[in-house]
Structure 1
């Protein structure tokens, strides 16, 4: 057989044919694929922040009337809903026993006054000692104090209205025995209503006393026009302390004058609006968060993505306020985050309609 010579002839031919093929480039020599991203330019925009909060209406002043002297109730003339004026008698207790005790104390005081007048003459003529004069003088002082105490207790049997208002609660009836410090009735001044609402710490420092506030009351069925002056309130108090858990403070809004039909206990919707101010805004979708804090992907001059740490403020509609980390004019990536890393080469594509709508702003934004 002549197989061996044939093989020896074919081997050189195969080696020559392999040398003629071009070498394939190594995988490491391929140009990395650029990320497709959409960007916006960070801009400073003049906007006012608006936020709606709900609260409960209550009277600006509500007085609970308690008796300081026990006794039987002889008069309780007013009922719930009755209007009263400051100084009106709203309750009276039986004070006959105190009147008798007061009459006795007055008689003892008069006797002490005469005794002191008599003893003064004896002291001047040296017919009695100074010690006797001091004793009588003390008896007169005690008698005057007893009269004052009983007179005060007798005054407590008649209760006068400390404010003008409406009786919102009547808790007893004439003939009942009222022990000391019994709640007899409540007087409410409803000429002005107030409500208190929680406000975020980020918005709290942007509010000031006297700022106008739009208020709507659900119970009035929206009969008032949005610009009705009767539904315009103002900030009358900003409480200094914050809740350490929720990071919110309390703002008090006064509604004065009170619109027809508004009553304590009703639900009120309050729209807080800050003064217009210039803020650096970017779309909220551009903000990233990690265990180290907040950041965004920005694009540098070499068209590479860079991780930029930022501190955000209030969210306004679809935008977010940036307090530090960015400057106006910085290019920020808003879409194309999948597998995006710092220093990654990017290819910028035109923004979509959704992104463009998020960037456009109005004079007033709703904070979330």
Structure 2
């Protein structure tokens, strides 16, 4: 077995020691770092200064533009509008009949619901006093006529003078007038229908003592009530805001809740042309033919009118504000607010009718607060609903 000699392992290389930076290099690096840091600080300060300047300019622009407010355009209401009002049906003519002379009711020939013609006798009274007055007046006339004949026959013989004849003729005329008056009073004992119609009420029966309704009807007892129902009057009470928009001849549609299929086309017949001092309403009447309708006086109906009204300006309710006791709106023009006093008509909570102060087409601020000054700048933004 042979043994070979192992060659010796060479020693590892010695590590190279790093070169030490010189003092000059360290100084250069330090200066460079300081320069970079100073530049960053300067850049940050410059950026912050520019941002603050921009914010200041923005604030100045906001202040110069004034408070930002929503705005809307003043619109004009439609010239034609429709209103539905409650109305009352009344008879064309209606009368409560009384006895003008006192007496006992001899008979009454009609009852409720009966149709009567003009001049028809409805009831008659027994009035002994009236009969006696007629009899006395007739006797007086006979006496005066006989006296006149006697004077005429004696005037030729000179027993009676012409003056006595003239006096006798005058006395006859006076007596005849008294007889006519007594007969007229007696005729009042017969109650006749003043017009054709329907008996709507009966208040007395035969045998009742009826006082004379000569002065006041408060203490008198009525006999019957009559109404002409062939034609009807429909009473409509117009509010002050509608009265000036209604004219005679305007179309009216009448409907009745209890008769859904009934629609009556009519026209305004007459108007009172005066507002009631208590209700501030004006009476408007519509005449209708009732031969085929079968409506009854006292019925409640609805009257729909198409009004040709003046197109008033309308503003949203948010545009109104008060200062003291006066209502105002802020009109925006040339980015400035102009506070304008207005007079308001109808107001439904959403929109308000302007009677004076606006013409239509103006831009008004909504929810204008105390920061909106008259003549001051505002930044108006048209409301979303307005842009649609």
Q: TM-score, normalised on structure 1?
A: 0.76
Verify the 8 A CA contact 1:239 1:249 in the aligned structure 2.
no
Contact 2:319–2:368 (CA under 8 A) maintained in structure 1: no
Contact preservation (8 Å) 1:35, 1:336: no
Preserved contact between residue 234 and residue 253 of structure 1 (Cα < 8 Å): no
Change in Cα spacing, 1:286 to 1:272, as seen in structure 2 (3 Å) is farther
**Partner secondary structure for residue 274 of structure 1:** strand
- In structure 1, which of residues 174, 197, 206 is the aligned counterpart of residue 245 of structure 2? 206
Counterpart Cα distance in 2 of 1:330 and 1:212: 34
Instruction: Quote the Cα distance in structure 2 between the aligned partners of 1:120 and 1:202.
Output: 78
- Tell me how far apart the structure 1 counterparts of residues 295 and 349 of structure 2 sit (CA, whole Å): 31
CA shift, 1:315, in A, is 5.0
2:232 paired with 1:193 = yes
What residue in structure 2 maps to residue 68 of structure 1?
100
The answer to whether 1:223 aligns with 2:279 is no
Question: How far apart are the structure 2 equivalents of 1:356 and 1:238?
Answer: 44
Change (3 A) 1:141 1:327: closer
- 1:35 touches 1:344 (CA, 8 Å); kept in 2? no
User: Aligned to 2:204, which of 147, 154, 172?
Assistant: 172
CA distance in 2, matches of 1:57, 1:345: 59
Contact 2:96 2:226 in 1 (8 A): yes
Whether the 8 Å CA contact 2:318–2:367 is kept in 1: the answer is: no
Counterpart in 1 of 2:283? 251
Task: Say whether the 8 Å CA contact 1:35–1:345 is kept in structure 2.
Answer: yes
Q: Secondary structure at the match of 1:209?
A: coil
Q: Give the whole-Å Cα distance in 2 for the aligned partners of 1:291 and 1:123.
A: 98
Q: Which residue of 1 aligns with 2:222?
A: 183
- Counterpart-to-counterpart distance in 2, 1:110 and 1:48: 76
Between 1:38-47 and 1:153-162, the stretch displaced more is 38-47
Structure 1, residues 96-143: CA drift from partner, whole Å, max 9, x if none?
A: 664454244324313322321231242344322355335433431332
- 1:167-203 Cα shifts (integer Å, max 9, x gaps): 1110000121212123101001122333434323232
SS of equivalent to 1:110:
helix
CA distance in 1, matches of 2:67, 2:234: 53
**Among residues 52, 58, 62, which one is paired with 2:84 in the alignment?**
52
Q: Displacement of 1:151 after TM fit?
A: 0.8
Q: State the 1:356 CA deviation.
A: 6.8
Alignment of 1:3-152 (within 5 A): 30-31=59-60, 32=62, 34-44=66-76, 46-95=78-127, 98-99=130-131, 101-152=133-184
**Bigger Cα Rg:** 2
Alpha-carbon spacing, 1:137–1:65, altered in 2? closer, same or farther (3 Å): same
SS in structure 1 opposite 2:138? helix
CA contact (8 A) 1:235 1:251 kept: no
Q: Deviations over 1:261-283 (max 9, x none)?
A: 42222222222331254443333
Whose RCO is larger (CA < 8 A, sep 6+)?
1
Residue 272 of structure 2 corresponds to 239
Partner of 1:341: 372
Q: Which residue of structure 1 aligns with residue 3 of structure 2?
A: none
Deviates more, 1:202-211 or 1:36-45: 36-45
**Unaligned runs of at least 5 residues, structure 1:** 1-19, 358-368
Indicate the larger mover: 272-281 or 310-319: 310-319
Deviation at residue 295 of structure 1 after TM alignment = 1.9
CA RMSD in angstroms comes to: 3.3
Of 281, 285, 293, the match for 2:314: 281
Matched, 1:299 2:299: no
Give the gaps of 5 or more residues in structure 2. Answer: 1-44, 214-220
Distance 2:239 2:128 in 1: 58
Q: How many residues align?
A: 328
Q: Deviations over 1:209-250 (max 9, x none)?
A: 2322222223x24232xxx3xx2343333224334455x232
Q: TM-score, normalized by length of structure 2?
A: 0.73
